Structure 1
Amino acid sequence: MKFRRPQAENLEINLTPLIDCLLFLIIFLMISTTFNKASKLQIVLPEAKGDAAKPSKAKSIEIGVSAGGIYTINGQELAVKDPKQLQSAIEKVSEGKRDLPFIIAADGKASHQAVITVMDVAGQMGFVNLSISTRVSSENP
């Protein structure tokens, strides 16, 4: 009895279905992707037009932020820019009262981070009456 030797079949990888799947994925991604060019934000800041608020006789805490990021509390300059030092200085001035008016007066060229730091410290301390002071524009309506 003579047996045939098994012959090795030639294995081929058919790439046509793979290419079809990749093309469908590419077409799907091209259709679902939006191509917006948003490299710059056009921001127009509003001006405050109105009567200046009359100063109240109640004690308030006014935090000033200079263009260089230097903080002042009720006109007294702080030597450091550290948020923990700012918090301890506010604690001294507020004497534990969290319902005092808290006013932030920042220079127009002060960094956004310096102003946010003051707001964050005030929020962590529990102040509820926060306001930002502005100046009335020089234009007459």
Structure 2
Amino acid sequence: MNFRRRIQSEEPEINLIPLIDILLVILIFLAATTSFTRFQQLSVTLPQAGAQAIDPNPLRLAINKDGLFALGANLIADTSTQGLTNALNNAAGNQAEPVLLINADAQTAHENVVKAMEAARLAGIQRVNFATQQ
């Protein structure tokens, strides 16, 4: 009879390094395959426009949805920024502080409105207003 005590075998241990490697691979896979959605349409609430008294004789610049510009009753042929600047300078004449009132169509591109604002800046017009509907 064998009365010797058995040598207890070591407890099984869990090796965490392969587990961490697998989790990192899964994390990289998820980061690479995630598709970030962009909002195609935002719900925007525009601020209300309050009517303020402006100068009685502002320069009126109209912009339609096709990108045509009209200063007063005259259609502007050169719609570049420099052409708009020249037209604004001619219309302002010798006014000390001219005021520009931009009437932009709701369907016009922002590019055209920014072009009009840039032309006003180049022409030295510091007071620019936008016409709104109530």
Could you state the TM-score of these two structures normalised by the residue count of structure 2?
0.65
Please show how residues 52-71 of structure 1 align to structure 2 within 5 Å. 52-54=51-53, 56-57=55-56, 59-71=57-69
1 CA distance for matches of 2:30 and 2:41?
26
Q: CA deviation at 1:41?
A: 4.3
Rounded Cα–Cα distance in structure 2 between residues aligned with 1:105 and 1:81 = 16
Q: Which residue of 1 aligns with 2:40?
A: 40
- Does structure 2 conserve the Cα–Cα contact (< 8 Å) formed by 1:48 and 1:134? no
Residue in 1 aligned with 2:124?
Answer: 126
How far apart are residue 132 of structure 1 and its match?
A: 0.9
Q: Which amino acid aligns with 2:40?
A: K
Q: Which stretches in structure 2 are left out of the alignment for 5+ residues?
A: 1-20
Looking at structure 2, the residues matched to 49 and 115 of structure 1 have their Cα atoms a distance apart, in angstroms, of 18
Which protein has the larger Cα radius of gyration, Structure 1 or Structure 2? 2
Specify whether residues 125 and 28 from structure 1 end up closer, same or farther in structure 2 by C-alpha distance, changes over 3 A only.
Answer: farther
Distance 1:45 1:96, change over 3 A: farther
Q: Tell me the percent identity.
A: 17
> How many residues get paired?
115
Cα shift readout 1:86-105 (whole Å, capped 9, x = no counterpart): 11111101125462111111
Which runs of 5 or more residues in structure 1 are unaligned? 1-20, 137-141
